[in-house]
Structure 1
Amino acid sequence: MVAHLVDETRIFWSSSSDRPTPAAIRRHGAQALRLAHLIEDPLPAVVFIDCADTDASVEIEKLRIENGDEHYLIPVLRELSAGQVVSLIARGAHDAVNDEDLLNPDAIIERARAQTRLLAYARDGVTDFSTLQNHTDGMVSPVFFKDANGLYTGCNPVFERFLGIDRGGILGKTVYDVAPSDLALTYHKADLDLAADGGVQTYAAGVRNGAGIVRMVRFYKGVVYGEDGRITGIVGAMHDIGDLRGHETARQEIDEVTSHVSANLVAREGFAAVDHDRPLLERVAAGDASALARLYRLYHRRLARFLTRLTWKSEVIDEIINDTFMVVWKRAGDFRGEASVSTWIIGIAYRSALRALRDQRRSEFEPLDIDHADTMAQYWHDHELSDLLSKALDLLPVEQRLVMALAYVLGHSVGEIAEITGCPVTTVKARMHRARCKLRETMDMLGKVKCV
């Protein structure tokens, strides 16, 4: 199957001004699109976009509107600056090149084909979750597994009994097959967030049980990694929202499952801890814009969730993220590996956010006022903010909010937070202590607001 995809990955040239297809990419089989922005066959393809005399962001948007998000887009400009590279990637480009790069495009085309092939192949891939299944049948919490496509690949008997559906009616199905559409949409969105962010995820939502009654439960979910270090699926557990001991049990059990799988993988394959983003950053340091695009996509959602603790203004968040990746693009060669790539990038984002705080009016970043009933009504209807802890975090002073977000939203250790913020560990611990005290007061107040 892979060889077939290698042979069949198509290359197109899109030019609004009818500029001829460059000879170097014609040698790789590139064909001009009959209509500049229309790819008639929906199979994923590589598309070089002629932006010599047009607005590249407009050309990217036209191709996306006409053809969706499946294709690998490479805008071609006469000259290319660092700012343009980051801006184009933020607008959906997978790479960015200039006319000179197309004189010898072999490496560009090779990586573009590899990425396109991987995306096409991943859509049909199914992960083997037999190890998880064997490990969770005896658990007391309802537990389920999904593959990278969102299909249920396993569950334990407790999950079957909770839903009132036997395993045969669950395996190979999606959340839309086993739950009402409004609830399924919540689960699906949360799964997408988790797959993008990695780590663990907790949130509260309704679940319809076997008696047809919707019960409020809290989900505790973690990602499952394949042998290449990439996310291949999700494992999750549920517990009654009022059962704190049940939540702790679910957390411990899912931690046990993911740790068991990871330990077996290391023992079986002899893998050491690897910073999987290091090779990408090395390629960025060598001027590879496609590697920057991959890093951007890997970190964008993670950074956006972190930055929502500062502001809900999407334009401010986008500006900070773009500033972050401008620094990554320019300073990738300065990375020395004292910390992980993740810690390094989050640290850049943290400093960019603090600069934005100085540049923007302070009022734009003030915490929410819980005395405003209208604001709270909106607040409680966002499933991502359905947890009291998440809400209370948004009400902390900025410095405490950032430290707690680094710990509880992104999952960094105290040592990593000290590295990111440039503060001593003692300072981080002091901020977290003050934040926890404030959280207890705020969560109590929010609980009273909810009951009003």
Structure 2
Amino acid sequence: MKGTQEMIVSNATEPRLFWSSQADRPIPRAIRLHGVRRLAPSLAIAAASPAVIFVDCENADAASELGRLRADTGPDGYLIPVLPELRPQDVISLVAHGANDAACHADLERPAPIIKRAKDQAQLMRLAREDGADLPRLLGFVDGMDSPVFLKDANGLYTGANHRFENFLGTGREGIQGKTVYDIAPSDLALTYHRADLELFARGGTQIYATGMRHATRGVRPVRLYKRTLHDPTGRIVGIVGTMHEIGDARGQRAVRAEFDALSRSGGLPVDSPLSTAPVTDPDRPLVSRIAAGEPSALARLYDLYRARLSRFVRRLSANDSLIEEIVNDTFLVVWNKAHEFRAECAVSTWLMAIAYRCALKALREQRHTLLEVELTHPDLVLEYWHDHETPDLLAKAFDLLSEDLRVATALAYLFGHSMEEIAQITGCPVTTVKARLHRARGKLRTRLAMLGEHGYA
């Protein structure tokens, strides 16, 4: 019917290939032979099967085109902007604006490799989306448990909890979902949980330890936590499932152990579920190898994995959002240009942090950017400084008042989980210096926390 939007729907799992050109340029012949069809303005893409879209950006603003198509396709559309030629800075900009890959006109003359890569990656995206449907089943499983149970993603955000856990904390699901441990627990307890999570993320498997947990009565109860990592098909840790019992409750301990063992064996999912408990290695090394071979899609994947983490790290050095974005993009530009030099002598995450640290120092020097730092020679200075910068977390306040070298060492150790040796690699200083900085930082944090607390900033 004229004037109605045609809907492209396919039940096939084979990714569909499209060409989008606001300038109405014809589909390049070589990709047309691979089944690429025009994505006309009158066509809408349904999510029944993956869509790969080559985006003509020759005389168009690539960021606007990517934004427009991303709004149409959602996160599952696989977007490949096409430019006459690709410079390294173009690749970084495109990836930062949501491209899944990038191509130049020469790439489309022999398009088989990029089309195969796009189909494979689009399939993986579809499988990941479908596998995610098992999460409600896992939540349904833990809802039936008699013990308090929680789920976290790989960024430490709570993705769910059963009613027992909600009742223990005295809050509804909306008070837990999407929150961090710092949102639901006092600073000292939150730091304990966070450090334990980092250790578990680093080695995988199961973790059991005793700590305190704030109860609905606002008192702190002694509990024993049981946690286990969840993994995707590549072996990457995608989250944590945990449960607990109050120490001294022998009956509760037996019940929790039995339920946790059952949860560890199956996760409430089929045995061959992607949420398995397989041991992991560094899954990012193949991405670096592919980047070294010139694959923008691998850079896009690494960018998605680490952009938020690098931004949080750089924010410890600067509060300037535009500068943070610039430093992160500079980091990935170095990765694109220097991936062939990576020798796998450290984890990819350590290598990225080291690059980000050097890029940050360079940017701060070039822009003569200085952080607001206050020497605590008198308590009134603390009160004046925090009058317009108040946050609910004393630990964050005290942390931000550390000098740059102490702040970086402490963030890398306690917020990002790096070892002494890794921090030495990142900052380019001896391990003994790292140890000394952490020792000084702990002393200063104790002093400054006490000083802030004495003046009612709890």
TM-score when normalising by structure 2: 0.72
Does structure 2 conserve the Cα–Cα contact (< 8 Å) formed by 1:198 and 1:223?
no
CA deviation digits over 1:391-432, x for unaligned, max 9?
A: 322221111111111111110000111111111111111111
1:98 counterpart residue number: 104
Helix, strand or coil for the counterpart of 2:76?
A: coil
Residue 146 of structure 1 and its aligned partner are, at CA, apart by 6.2
Higher percent of residues as helix? 1
1:8 aligns with 2:9: no
Is residue 2:289 matched to residue 1:274? no
**1:359 matched to 2:366:** yes
Q: Is the 8 A contact 1:407 1:413 kept in 2?
A: yes
Distance 1:188 1:39 in 2: 41
- Cα offsets for 1:251-298 (capped at 9, x unmatched): xx9xx99xx89xxx9xxx998762211111001001011101111111
Residue matched to 1:296: 303
Q: Does 1:305 align with 2:312?
A: yes
1:47 aligned partner: 53
> Which residue identity does 2:301 align to in structure 1?
R
- Go from structure 1 to structure 2 and tell me whether the alpha carbon gap of 1:408 and 1:17 turns closer, same or farther (over 3 Å shift): same
Residues 151 and 121 of structure 1: CA distance in aligned 2, closer, same or farther (over 3 Å): farther
**Residue aligning to 1:64:** 70
Matched with 2:207 is none
The structure-2 alpha-carbon separation of the partners of 1:25 and 1:315, relative to structure 1 and needing over 3 Å to count, comes to: same
* Sequence identity (%): 44
Counterparts of 1:416 and 1:147, CA distance in 2: 24
Q: CA deviation at 1:53?
A: 1.5
- Residue by residue, what CA displacement relative to the aligned partner does 1:301-324 show, whole Å, maximum 9, x if unpaired? 110111111122211111111111
Alignment-derived partner of residue 376 in structure 1: 389
Shift of 1:365: 5.6
Residues 216 and 287 of structure 1, relative CA distance in 2, 3 Å threshold: farther
What is the alpha-carbon distance in structure 2 between the residues aligned to residue 187 and residue 62 of structure 1? 32
Per-residue displacement from partner, 1:299-346 (whole Å, max 9, x unpaired)?
Answer: 101101111111222111111111111111001101112212111111
Of 321-330 and 230-239, deviating more is 230-239
Q: Is the 8 A contact 1:183 1:207 kept in 2?
A: no
Count of aligned pairs between the two proteins: 392
Counterpart-to-counterpart distance in 1, 2:340 and 2:47? 38
**Change beyond 3 A, Cα 1:351–1:373:** closer
Compute the TM-score of the two structures, normalised by the length of structure 1: 0.73
Question: Residues 31-88 of structure 1, C-alpha deviation per residue, up to 9 Å, x if partnerless?
Answer: 111119x744245421110011122122112222344333111100001101110111
1:332 is aligned to 339
Return the alpha-carbon distance in structure 1 between the equivalents of residues 304 and 374 of structure 2: 28
Alignment check: 8 A CA contact 2:364 2:370 kept: no
| 2:322 is the counterpart of 1:322 | no
In the aligned structure 1, how far is the partner of 2:215 from the partner of 2:409? Answer: 36
Aligned counterpart, 1:169: none
Match of 2:89 in 1: 83
CA distance in 2, matches of 1:199, 1:70: 32
Q: 1:227 to 1:32 in 2, by over 3 A?
A: closer
Residues 278 and 341, structure 1, Cα contact 8 Å, conserved in 2:
yes
3-state SS of 2:75 partner: coil
Rounded to whole Å, the distance in 2 between the matches of 1:35 and 1:218 is 61
RMSD: 4.4
Q: Are the aligned partners of 2:92 and 2:329 in contact in 1 as well (CA < 8 Å)?
A: yes
Residue of 281, 294, 302 corresponding to 1:287 = 294
CA contact (8 A) 2:83 2:103 kept: yes
1:69–1:450 distance in 2 versus 1, CA, 3 Å: farther
Q: Which amino acid aligns with 1:408?
A: Y
Alpha-carbon spacing, 1:160–1:436, altered in 2? closer, same or farther (3 Å): closer
Secondary structure at the residue paired with 2:429? coil
CA distance in 2, matches of 1:312, 1:239: 40
Cα distance, 1:217 vs structure 2: 10
Aligned-partner Cα distance in 2 for 1:367–1:6: 62
Which of 34, 40, 63 does residue 34 from structure 1 map onto?
Answer: 40
Give the Cα–Cα distance (whole angstroms) in 1 for the partners of residues 221 and 62 of structure 2: 46
Say if 1:238 and 1:47 are closer, same or farther in 2 by CA, change over 3 A.
farther
2:123: which partner in 1?
Answer: 117
1:412 matched to 2:418: yes
**Secondary structure at 1:275's aligned position in 2?**
coil
Amino acid at match of 1:108: I
* Cα contact 1:95–1:289 (8 A) shared by 2: yes
Corresponding residue for residue 174 of structure 1? none
Pairing 1:390–2:396 present = yes
- Residue 330 to residue 272, structure 1, CA distance change in 2 (3 Å): same
Question: Aligned pair in 2 of structure 1 residues 334, 216: CA closer, same or farther (>3 Å)?
Answer: same
Q: 1:119 to 1:450 in 2, by over 3 A?
A: farther
- Range moving further from structure 2, 334-343 or 362-371: 362-371
Query: Against the structure 1 CA distance between its residues 239 and 448, is the aligned structure 2 distance closer, same or farther, given a 3 Å change threshold?
Result: farther
Contact 2:331 2:359 in 1 (8 A): yes
From 410, 430, 433, the equivalent of 1:427 is 433
1:74 and 1:95 in contact (8 A); partners too: yes
State the secondary structure of the residue aligned to 1:124: helix
Larger CA Rg, structure 1 vs 2 = 2
Spell out, residue by residue over 1:371-394, the C-alpha distance to the aligned partner (whole angstroms, 9 max, x if none): 2344333x22xxxxx4x3333222
Structure 1, 46-55 or 390-399: larger mean CA deviation: 390-399
